[in-house]
């Protein structure tokens, strides 16, 4: 068996999102065939997969193994998305995907979503960082019970870890209960400094919990970091949806992919009567996604367990039950859609 034989077999492997086979889409970086002393040998395939542990990319890898399984060759797979910039020109050279979690207004559960997406990706096996960039209201350390503070040698900052997630937050840098009263240039400076000085190491995903709205912090991040995409968090009520549209337009003006809409507080199931009550309305997030031709990532019900988990520092996605399952669906969709962005970039740029 030679390289041409391998590529012919790989042409049977379909991309579940892009609508074509991985060879014609340009998602096979390289194929090498090493003959053994007797029968068989080793086939090494490098795939342009950019969202580690996403279910769809894992399925592509399994299909590649399956299509070569009846040969006498061992199969070794690797995955990488070629980067146009040299390592010394990259802002975060060790981070594969930077994903912003944003909302048009406060009070919609954005930080809760960011924490659960980060913890859920880590639970899948990914290497994850969580940057609490909500300068004026950093809540992430409390939501994960992060008692350990970052370590520093005066030049670099080593972030602590919780639930397998590396953490950085403005809350680590200010006194307890001290208000942050900064003008725009100061916000830009501190965000830029944290991005450059924190030792994130090798990460599959860096989740950025942005402050609500469309202000200085968002602009700094959009201008500084190579975002894979953004997740917009909303509730079903009209006032939240109106503000979510502003967030969509902000990312659109900066040519940033929106990975989808996540709806929080999507109904309440009464623990006493078992009835389901749509307190904040019905289907607003899904309708918003359809109107703007964006993916709907999923909805999370209004559940006391979410509040309890946030207060006690235990992400709901790591537990069991309807709400945990809802968060897991969103986590998988975020990873899958990040993969679509990365693979489409490779396919269209070849």
Separation between Cα atoms, residue 164 and residue 128, nearest integer Å: 7
Task: Return the H-helix or E-strand segment holding 102.
Answer: strand 98-102
Q: Which residue has the tokens 């607003």?
A: 284
Instruction: Please give the model's pTM, rounded to 2 decimal places.
Output: 0.88
Q: What is the pLDDT of residue 138?
A: 76
Render pLDDT for 225-281 as a digit per residue (tens, 0 to 9). 889 999 999 887 666 677 778 777 888 777 789 999 999 877 667 666 766 666 565
The larger pLDDT score, comparing residue 25 to residue 102, is at 25
> In Å, what is the CA distance from 311 to each residue of 118, 143, 305?
17, 6, 10
d(CA 37, CA 195): 50
- Higher-pLDDT residue of 136 and 53 is 53
Over the stretch 219-241, which tens digit does the pLDDT of each residue have? Answer: 777 777 889 999 999 887 666 67
**CA-to-CA separations, 146 to 89, 101, 310, in angstroms, rounded:** 32, 20, 12
How many Å separate Cα 108 from the centre of its chain?
A: 19
Lowest mean pLDDT among 19-23, 124-128, 157-161: 157-161
Task: Report the distance separating Cα 128 and Cα 98, nearest Å.
Answer: 10
Exposure pattern of 44-81 as b/e (b: 16+ CB <10 Å)?
Answer: bbbbbbbbbbbbbbbebbebbeebbeebebebebebeb
Is the pLDDT assigned to residue 179 strictly greater than 80?
no
Identify which of 49-63, 150-164, 241-255, 284-298 has the greatest average pLDDT. 49-63
pLDDT at 65 over 70: yes
Secondary structure letter of residue 332 according to DSSP: H
Please name which of 267, 326, 324 lies closest in space to residue 296, comparing C-alpha atoms: 326
Nearest CA-CA partner of 95 in 258, 225, 256, 187: 225
**Kind and range of the H or E element at 141?**
helix 140-143
Residue pair 47/61 in contact (Cβ under 8 Å)? The answer is yes
pLDDT digits (tens, 9 = 90+) for 194-203: 777 889 999 9
In this predicted structure, what is the pLDDT of residue 221? 78
- 73-79/41-47 β-pairing: parallel
The values of phi and psi at residue 32, to 5°, are: -130, 140
Query: By the 8 A CB rule, do 116 and 327 touch?
Result: yes
* Lateral strand order in the sheet of 128-132: 161-162, 165-169, 128-132, 205-209, 98-102, 229-234, 258-263, 296-299
Residue 34 φ then ψ, to 5° = -115, 110
Cβ atoms of 160 and 168 within 8 Å: the answer is no
Mean pLDDT of the chain: 85
pLDDT in tens, 180-215: 555 556 666 777 777 778 899 999 999 999 887 666
Backbone angles phi, psi at 28, to 5 degrees: -105, 105
What separation in angstroms does the CA of 35 have from each of 9, 26, 46, 72? 18, 25, 18, 10
Give yes or no for a contact between 339 and 56, defined as CB atoms under 8 angstroms apart.
yes
């Amino acid at each position: 068996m030679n390289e041409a034989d391998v590529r012919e077999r790989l042409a049977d492997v379909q991309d579940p999102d892009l609508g074509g086979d991985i060879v014609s889409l340009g998602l096979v970086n390289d194929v090498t065939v090493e003959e053994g002393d007797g029968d068989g040998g080793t086939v090494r395939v490098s795939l342009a997969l950019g969202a580690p542990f996403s279910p769809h990319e894992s399925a592509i890898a399994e299909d590649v193994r399956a299509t070569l399984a009846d040969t006498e060759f061992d199969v070794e797979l690797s995955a990488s998305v070629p980067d146009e910039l040299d390592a010394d020109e990259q802002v975060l050279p060790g981070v594969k995907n930077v994903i912003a979690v944003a909302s048009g207004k406060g009070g919609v559960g954005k930080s809760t979503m960011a924490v659960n997406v980060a913890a859920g990706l880590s639970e899948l096996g990914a290497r994850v960082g969580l940057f609490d960039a909500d300068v004026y209201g950093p809540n992430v350390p409390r939501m994960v019970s992060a008692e350990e503070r970052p370590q520093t040698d005066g030049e670099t900052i080593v972030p602590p870890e919780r639930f397998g997630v590396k953490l950085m937050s403005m809350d680590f840098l200010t006194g307890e209960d001290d208000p942050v009263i900064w003008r725009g240039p100061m916000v830009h400076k501190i965000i830029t400094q944290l991005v450059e000085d924190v030792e994130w190491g090798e990460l599959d995903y860096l989740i950025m919990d942005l402050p609500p709205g469309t202000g200085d912090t968002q602009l700094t991040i959009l201008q500084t970091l190579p975002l894979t995409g953004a997740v917009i968090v909303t509730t079903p009520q009209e006032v939240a949806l109106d503000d979510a549209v502003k967030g969509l337009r902000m990312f659109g003006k900066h040519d940033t992919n929106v990975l989808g809409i996540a709806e929080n507080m999507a109904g309440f199931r009464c623990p006493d009567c078992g009835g389901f009550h749509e307190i904040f309305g019905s289907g607003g997030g899904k309708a918003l996604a359809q109107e703007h031709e964006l993916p709907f990532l999923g909805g999370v019900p209004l559940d006391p367990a979410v509040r309890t988990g946030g207060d006690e520092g235990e992400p709901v996605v790591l537990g069991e039950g309807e709400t945990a399952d809802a968060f897991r669906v969103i986590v998988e969709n975020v990873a899958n859609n990040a993969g679509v962005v990365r693979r489409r970039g490779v396919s269209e740029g070849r």
